[in-house]
Amino acid sequence: EVQLVQSGAEVKKPGESLRISCRGSGYRFTTYWISWVRQMPGKGLEWMGRIDPSDSYTDYSPSFQGHVAVSADKSISTAYLQWSSLKASDTAMYYCASGHGSSDPFDYWGQGTLVTVSS
Amino acid sequence: QSVLTQPPSVSAAPGQKVTISCSGSSSNIGNNYVSWYQHLPGTAPKLLIYENNKRPSGIPDRFSGSKSGTSATLGITGLQTGDEADYYCGTWDSSLSAVVFGGGTKLTVL
């Protein structure tokens, strides 16, 4: 059974850095691209970017380019989403998602990681 | 503003049918497959429809999808209270080189 398991909720202050994770199991990790999706409070889903775990190729939505970084460590079947300097507006639920292609449709989703940024 | 346009809300009685529309353009829906997701509060989104009208294993045939030109539609028949959720359409946008989602539609089963 394919599973994506994300790291736990985080509470951070503005300006701090953060890395959240998404561990894949039940399949060969390098087979499926992993995307990250944001849901701000009371808002809809937004695709942030993706990574091909086989070679760590990444690309990003224009809305998120330069604001976050996606990476992966295939030796431990884990993808990451990272911020170097958080803002209050980064407060959101973040999901990792994957499927049989390089992007949509997303057959598999992580449980979500709630990130709260507050002074 | 979402690239794909969905109605904010729809409602219907148990047992009835509802449709949710998703409008886009030639750079997204017009030339790419559409997917639909169900998002229940406190859970991860769930894929309902892919490639416009295909259902993943385990999704009941009460859920259906269609596409015409630059618009897509999700249909749900035999509504149940458990269908109350937010529904999102999604597709690839060739101009943005990004996955785009609709703003979401909240389904209320009265």
Give tens-digit pLDDT for B60-107. Answer: 999 999 999 999 999 999 999 999 999 999 999 999 999 999 999 999
Helix (H), strand (E) at residue A83: strand A78-83
Chain B nearest-CA residue for A41: B41
Q: What is the pLDDT of residue B53?
A: 97
Q: Would you call B99 and A95 a contact, using CB atoms and an 8 Å cutoff?
A: no
Q: What is residue B1's predicted lDDT score, i.e. its pLDDT? A: 82
Q: Hey, are the CB atoms on A62 and B98 less than 8 Å from each other?
A: yes
Determine the distance from the C-alpha atom of residue A70 to the mean position of all C-alpha atoms in its chain, rounded to a whole number. 7
d(CA A82, CA B60): 37
Each residue's pLDDT tens digit in chain A (119 positions)? 999 999 999 999 999 999 999 999 999 999 999 999 999 999 999 999 999 999 999 999 999 999 999 999 999 999 999 999 999 999 999 999 998 888 889 999 999 999 999 99
Buried b (16+ CB within 10 A) or exposed e, B52-79: bbebeeebeeebbbebeebbbbbbbeeb
In Å, how far is A104's CA from the nearest CA of chain B? 6
Distances (CA, A) of A8 to A50, A94, A118, B28: 20, 11, 17, 34
CB contact under 8 A, A103 and B39: no
**Interface contacts (A, B; CB < 8 Å):** 62
User: In the structure encoding, which two tokens stand for residue B66, read together?
Assistant: 């269609």
Q: What is the pLDDT of residue B41?
A: 83
A interface with B, Cβ–Cβ < 8 A, is 35, 37, 44-47, 59-63, 95, 97, 99, 103-107, 109-112
Angle made by CA atoms A61, B9, A112, in degrees to the nearest 5: 45
Substitution target from A22, A96, A106 for chain B, most B beta carbons within 10 A = A106
Q: Which residues of A touch B22 (CB under 8 A)?
A: none
When CB atoms are compared, the residue of A45, A59, A62 closest to B88 is A45
Q: Say whether residue B50 is in contact with chain A using an 8 A CB cutoff.
A: yes
Q: Residue A96: how many CA atoms within 13 Å on its side-chain side?
A: 27
Who's near B1: CB < 8 A, 6+ residues apart?
none
